Structures are given as structure tokens and as C-alpha cells.
A = this chain, B = another copy of it.
Amino acid sequence: MGGTSRAGRGEWVSSRPRAERARQAADVLRQQITGGAFPGGTLPGERELGERLGASRNAVREALALLRAEGLITRRRGVGTTVVAAKHGHGLDRLAGLAEALTGHGTVANEVREIGRVPVPPPAVAARLGLAPGAGAVRVERLRRLEGEPLSLDTTYLPGDIGEGLLRRPDLGRELAERDLFGLIEEVAGQPLGRAEVQVHAVAAAPATAALLGVPAGAAIFAIDRLAHLADGRPVDSEAVHIRADRLTLRATLYRAPGPPGA
């Protein structure tokens, strides 16, 4: 509690451990950075930051160290503090592929690491996709780069018929390198996607995954499960996506529907 009385009623809070003040300052600064408060990518000096954040020089320094550990900023003598890579936002409001979501933010190019038939898909995957017994699947794995820098590693299982339709496309190599799978699936299926169930995890990157994504082993990354359905409800895309969290933020606008009052 560091000098703050518990459940106190409006008293002045004057002394808190520096680590906590630094965290609070880092929280506000992260909001500023990802909210686009520093368009040029260069942060002001410690004194000005201290004024903006209402924090002491020491707290500002520690907050900057926290955000540097997150990979959000870099500090260099003579250059100052700069935002490492603009953190891009991927909306959670609407089902969209990565390239689609990042339209206007740069070019997404995909390295196709694998595409192939999986005659006996893992039963757990077959169940998710609702495959008939004995039905095969097609697996696609891509390392996706934004402006040349790794952004995500996507492994997708498609039902056999959709996958075979994909494999028959004459210009598949280029399409997989340049486009989102969502659009390709829609063209093959002849109908749009409808919905997807998405689960977002934050995990420490395992060494092999970290090496592919170009981050240190153990770095915090997003692991996202996504199961996308066609408009008619059929599940057609079972994905596991690992995303660099230092480059991408997930964004949503949530609305409060009528619910239990004051729960």
C-alpha cells in the first residue's frame, strides 16, 4: 500500500512505491504512444514527459525502462527516445484478414512455409471443422511480414474440398504470397464468410516461434485461435496465429447492451 490507506475515503495519496508510480506512468504513456500522440515517433525529453504524465523524473525514467522492455520504444544516446515500430491496430470489431485490416499501413507479404494435403488431420482439428470420418484437410502455414519485418505466423487447416479448390488455382503461389486467405476461401467457396469465434491468449514465445518472428525467446506474443465459418454456417478455417505483440495491438469498440443492472 506504500503509505496509502486501504479503502481510504478521498484522502490525499502522497507516497507510493516508485515501481507503482512508474507502472502508472508507463500505462498512461503506452496509451499516448499507441493513441498516436507522437506522430513523428520521437518522444519529448524526460522533463516534458514528466509534466504530461504528472510523474517525477525518476518515475519517468523507470516507466521508459518498462516500455523499452515491452519493445515499444528504444532509447539511444544523442538520438533520444523513439517509438520502435508504429504499433498497428487490428480491429476486433469485424472479421478481417491481416492485409485487409492493415490497408494503408504498409504492404503485407507472406512467406509460404507449407501448403499440403493432410490425409489424416488431427482428430481434434477434424472435429472443429466438422469433417466426415476419413476426410482429409489441407494445411497452410505462412510467415507474414509487414514492410519486410515479421508480424505473424499463421497455421490454417481447411476442409479437403476448400483446400483442393485452393490447390487448383493457377496463380496460387503469388496469391498466397500477397493475399489474405479469407478472400481466397470466399472465392473458392463461392460465398462470403459469416462469423468467426476468436480466442486471444498472451503467451511467452517458444524459442522456435520466437526465431521465426524475430523476437527474443520468451517475449510476450499473442496466440490467437480463430475458427471461421462460411455465411451458411459451415466451419472452413481453423487457425492458430502467433502475432508479435510489439508490432500489433488488438482494438475494439465495445457497446454496453442491456444487462443485469449494476452487476
Chain A residues near B (Cβ < 8 Å): 1, 4, 6-13, 16-17, 19-20, 22-32, 34, 37, 51-55, 66, 69-70, 87, 89, 92-97, 99-100, 103, 111-125, 128, 138-139, 155, 164, 167, 172-173, 176-177, 179-180, 182-184, 186-187, 192-204, 206-209, 218-223, 225, 231, 238, 240, 245, 249-257, 259-263
| A186 to B, closest residue via Cβ | B262
A interface, over-half SS = mixed
| A117 to B, closest residue via Cβ | B10
Which of B10, B37, B172, B221 contacts A7, CB < 8 Å?
Answer: B172
Residues of B within 8 A of A251 (CB): 197-200
Which of B51, B176, B192, B245 contacts A202, CB < 8 Å?
Answer: B245
CB distance from A82 to the nearest CB of B (A): 18
Q: Is the CB of B100 within 8 A of A260?
A: yes
- Copies assembled: 2
Residues of B within 8 A of A19 (CB): 206-208
Q: Is the CB of B197 within 8 A of A17?
A: no
CB distance from A231 to the nearest CB of B (A): 8
Q: Is the CB of A116 within 8 A of B13?
A: yes
**Given that A117-B10, A249-B199 are contacting pairs, would A122 and B256 also be in contact in the complex, using a CB cutoff of 8 Å?**
no
Residues of B within 8 A of A37 (CB): 124
Residues of B within 8 A of A28 (CB): 122, 124-125, 240
CB distance from A162 to the nearest CB of B (A): 13
Residues of B within 8 A of A122 (CB): 25, 28, 52-55
| A256 to B, closest residue via Cβ | B95
Q: Is the CB of B124 within 8 A of A52?
A: yes
Q: Is the CB of A202 within 8 A of B218?
A: no
Q: Is the CB of B199 within 8 A of A202?
A: no
| A221 to B, closest residue via Cβ | B202
Q: With the chains together, A186 CA to B231 CA distance in Å?
A: 37
CB distance from A218 to the nearest CB of B (A): 7
Residues of B within 8 A of A51 (CB): 123
Q: Is the CB of A179 within 8 A of B262?
A: yes
